[in-house]
Every structure is written in structure tokens, then in C-alpha cells.
Amino acid sequence: MPSLNEKGGQGVLPTTVETALAARPKPFWRSRKFLVLLGLYVCVHLGHEARENSYLYNSGEAACPQADVLTPTKNADVWTALNDKIGTPAFKTSAVDWLSGAVRVPTESYDNMDPVGTDPRWEAFAPFHDYLLGAFPLVHTSLKLTKVNTYGLYYEWKGTDASLKPLLLAAHQDVVPVDPSTVDQWTHPPYSGYFDGERIWGRGSMDDKSGLIGILSTIETLLEAEFQPTRTIVLSFGFDEESAGFHGAGALGEYLLGVYGENGFAMIVDEGSGFTKQYGSIIATPGIAEKGFINVLVEVTAAGGHSSIPPAHTSIGILSALLVHYEKHPHKVEITRDEPIYSTLQCVAEHGNDVPSVLRHTIKKSASSNKALRRLSSFIQKDLVLSSLVGTTQAITRIEGGVKSNALPERASALVNHRIAVVSSLDETKQSNTELLERLGHKFNLTYTAFGQQVSAEGAPASGTLTLSDAFDGGLEPAPVTPTGKDAAPYQLLSGTIKATYNVHRAIQDVDSVIVAPSMMSGNTDTRFYWKLSPHIFRYNHHNAAIADSPLAGIHTVNEFHNIDSFLEQIRFFTTLILNADEATSF
């Protein structure tokens, strides 16, 4: 899943960046799963901060309209039959075998890997392909498999109606490496796939072999039931999502673009968030956006020389002043109504059973009142997680300079890592960096160049230089925001599918059992390579975050596990999604 990580995992940052920034498995706070949970946490955390009081607010029109439960009609028989089957002990055994077998084949991806064919570590994926071939025989006889860049898996299950745009289901084959020094902290060995009757243990059991195996298990089962799709289904499984995705999804995205063209897919569903209980309500939070990022390299050069006759400021001293200036001037976090998190908040206010009344009032009122919107901003500013999701962030992550205790440093540099707000852009971020340092550049008498443009006066004498540049590869724009309005048929279909899945898994009829709230994560998934394929991209795989002991259990760290009940519900989700999309006529 998406991660905040600068390096592997659901790498937010490209490989080169990740490479340069770090050389160990990414900590879980940079992981996709962590981000998933951020979305959910957003809801919880809000409640703690709001003070209860007696405001009452009567809203006029409904915010956050909810789709109806959507169950297949044309495909009703196969849906019912499959749901019955998924509920049997025999199917549970198959599901355990499928997932635990996949966990037993390690597929670690690392930062700094050389291209496929050069770096032997990629060869770990060949046994995984062999495993899939053996585990899913019907998939491999009925779907067309194309291997892209050797290990990228692209399956096509041709539908009978070529006029319908295909559904694209994505997942990734690779896992975060297990840190060898932590192996003895695992209750069950990380590649055991051990099943204790409730949980399947091991690296990848959740992230993201549950997604990949969930999809293939669903299709194998549909094939067994002799289902023939009307709408073509395409599967795209990258193999280096945990280290930025260039070799896997990067190549697959290009390939699919060549085959299906721009906007060639009806919708895309990749790994992402799930649902959990917040505010007395079950809230599902499909990711509809991703922040961008850029690593700004700040470099100062100054004359060298012997440290016994120093100037007032060395390059290191000047750089330090610049970095202090950065931290004194964080980007201001102001929520706008275009922000995905704003939609999340609207949904919580409209449908959450237990939202503190002052918070509910402020959120609702902000739809029409700028004053209330500012109050909401100041509320968000006090919450680190929320404000990080809403605003452009900055973090000084690396610094270097100097080579010798008695030599004046000729060069000093630092990296400032920004995660760019969905409503902002790379250009805006570069511009604000440039303006931020202008006064100090002048004060320290430096020739100032930012992103290739000279900022200080041409030819003026100077005692050194200040240069800002994109480190590595220039960063990534924020993702386009997936439409979620009443007319956005794919979002409505996904919402109705989530509700139907939740209900059928629990054998309940209650239409209002789940609130679907569009949300976002601060990291990136493989979908960063799929933007051109469809505007309807969702990062969601229906994990039940409510049943893990800790919502962050094991993701990207020791003791990763997946609960079998949640995995079975995931299979119901993919089943319902495929059947609903198959008969949808609105897109």
C-alpha cells in the first residue's frame, strides 16, 4: 500500500530518491499501511480535540450523499452461490492455503536495485510466479498472461462486450524486506505463513499479498462457477511497489497505456484503506487522492581556507541559519473545500453517530461560511496528522558538509523533503522555497540560483553561492482527485459494493451499516503510474481495521499478520466488485 516512505514500500518517492535517502527497510511510519490508518485515525482524533458544547446546527441539504447498497442483479445467482461458498469451512481452508502459500515465497524488494536482468535479486519473483501457476490453475488457463519487464504480471480476462471499458484491479507482488536483526522477534518465522486458526502470519500476509491473492482467489472461484464476464477484467501486479515502483508498475502502466489507451479503463482499484469503527459508526475510507512530493537540495558554497582565520560565517553556519528559517516558516495549513479531507470531514459530520456537537456544527457550517471554514482550519492546525494530510509539509531529512576539523567547509548541503498538498503543485512548492530563502541569501551575500533560475542580481559580487534544486528526479505532482459526486458512477458503484459486502459478510440487511467517506493517504501506491489510464482511481481493499489488536499491527515491521475473517471478507469484496462492475451500464 501507499507509504510515506521515501524509500521502499509504498514508496512515495522514486527509487533514486529512496535509494539516496535510506538503505534500510522503511520504518512503518513510512509505510502504506500506516497511511491507510491515518485516514481512519483522522476521524478518531478529531473527536478528542473538540470540546463539547450546546451548539445546535440544522443543516439544509445533505452533505456526503450515500449510495444505496448495491448487489448484483443480472449476476445475482452467481453472487449468491459464491457468497454461500465463501462461508464454508472448505473455502476457508482454501483461502488459508492460498494466502499462506504465497507468504512462504519471499519476494523482497530493496532500494537501489539494478534493472531486471542485471540485479539477481529480482530472480526471487520467478518462484512466486511458479507458485501462482500451481495455486490458480483456472486463472492460468482462462486468462491471457503477459509478463512485462519479466516479472510484471498483466492478466486479461476478456469480456463478451468489447464496447465496455475494462475494470483494472491492481496489487503488488513484493514485500518489505525482513530486517535480519529482528527475525528472532517474530512469534512465527516471517516466511512461515503459519495459520493459528485465526490469523495467517508472515511478511506480506497483509501488505499486499492479501490484495493480490484476494483478487486471484476471487477469479479462480468465479471461473470454477463458470462465470463469463461481460466487461473485460485486467489485473496488473507490479513487483517493486515497496521501493517506488518504477520497474514493476512503471513498466506495466506504460504497457497498459499502449494496449488500452488514455482513459481506457472504467475504474482502477488498488491496495489502500479499509473500514473501521469511529464515532459510533462504521466508516470506510477509499483513497481518492495522493499527495505529491519533492526533495529540495539546499546547497551553500563559500571560500575554503584554514580554520584558524575564519570568516564570521562558514558554509555550515549559513546553511544552519537557512534551515532554522525553514522551520520557523512551515507552510500554512488552510483547509479548502476542494480538499479530499474536507469531504471526509463532511461525511463524518453528516453521518457519524457520535460526533461532538461543536465539531459537527463547525464542519457543517463551513460549507457555507468562510468564518467556520477558518475555525475548521485552526482546529486542523492543532492536529499533526490532519494538518499533515491537508497541507504541504516539510522535513529536513539529510545534512552534510565539511571534511576536516581544521578546514573551512567549501560546501554544505541539506535535503528538505516536502509532501505536496493535493490542492497545490510542484511549481508552487518550488516557488515558496525560492521566496523563503531570498532575504537570507542576500544577507549572507550569496549568488542565489533556484531551480535553474538566477534569483540574485546578475554579476553582483558575492562571497559564496546558494543553490536550490530538485534532488534526484524532480518529485511528483499530487495525484488527480478521483470524482466522488452523485454523477461519479464508479465511486457510487464502489460505495454500494462496500455496503453490500459488509452486509453480506455479516448476514445483515441494514442499509445504513457503513458510511463511505472519500479520504486520502499521505503516501503513494503503484497507482502513480496509472493516472492516464482512468480518472476513477481508488485505493481501497476493504481491510477490516477494527479487528486487528492494534490497527498498526505488523505492517512493515515484525509480526505482520492477516485475520482470516478479514481476508474472506476481502474476497467477498472483490467478488461483489467484479460482478457489480460487470453489469454496470452507467459507465
Ligand X SMILES: *[C@@H]1O[C@H](CO)[C@@H](O)[C@H](O)[C@H]1NC(C)=O
List residues binding ligand X (CB under 6 A): 445, 461-463
Strands 152-157 and 233-238 come out as antiparallel
Q: Is 196 marked as binding a ligand?
A: no
In the DSSP assignment, the letter for residue 350 is H
State the Cα angle at 458 between 457 and 460, rounded to 5°.
70
The C-alpha cell of 447 is what?
Answer: 549568488
SS (H, E, C) 432-445: HHHHHCHHHHHHCC
Active site residues: 174, 241
Contact 304, 72 (CB under 8 A): no
Q: Is 48 marked as binding a ligand?
A: no
Task: Tell me whether residue 461 or residue 485 sits nearer to ligand X (CB atom).
Answer: 461
The C-alpha cell of 299 is what?
Answer: 546547497
Contact 360, 16 (CB under 8 A): no
At 48, which amino acid appears?
Answer: H
Distance of alpha carbon 529 from alpha carbon 515, whole angstroms: 29
Task: Tell me whether residue 413 or residue 456 sits nearer to ligand X (CB atom).
Answer: 456
Q: Is 188 marked as binding a ligand?
A: no
Task: Tell me whether residue 25 or residue 441 sits nearer to ligand X (CB atom).
Answer: 441
Give Cα 416 distance to the centre of its chain. 21
Least distance between ligand X and beta carbon 300 (Å): 14
The beta strands (E) that lie in 323-476 are given as 393-401, 411-420, 446-450, 453-454, 464-470
Distance of alpha carbon 271 from alpha carbon 113, whole angstroms: 23
Helix (H, G, I), strand (E, B) or coil at 223: helix
Enumerate residues 6+ apart whose C-beta is below 8 A from 261: none
Distance of alpha carbon 409 from alpha carbon 337, whole angstroms: 48
Least distance between ligand X and beta carbon 449 (Å): 16
Helix (H, G, I), strand (E, B) or coil at 406: coil
Q: Is 224 marked as binding a ligand?
A: no
Contact 30, 523 (CB under 8 A): yes
Residue identified by cell 507458485 is: 131
Name the nearest CA neighbour of 294 among 473, 416, 475, 30: 475
CB-count burial class (<10 Å; 0-12, 13-18, 19+) for 304: middle
Strands 446-450 and 464-470 come out as parallel
Other Cβ atoms less than 10 A from the Cβ of 108: the count is 18
Distance of alpha carbon 231 from alpha carbon 248, whole angstroms: 25
Binding residues for Zn(2+): 172, 207, 242, 270, 556
Binding residues: 172, 207, 242, 270, 556
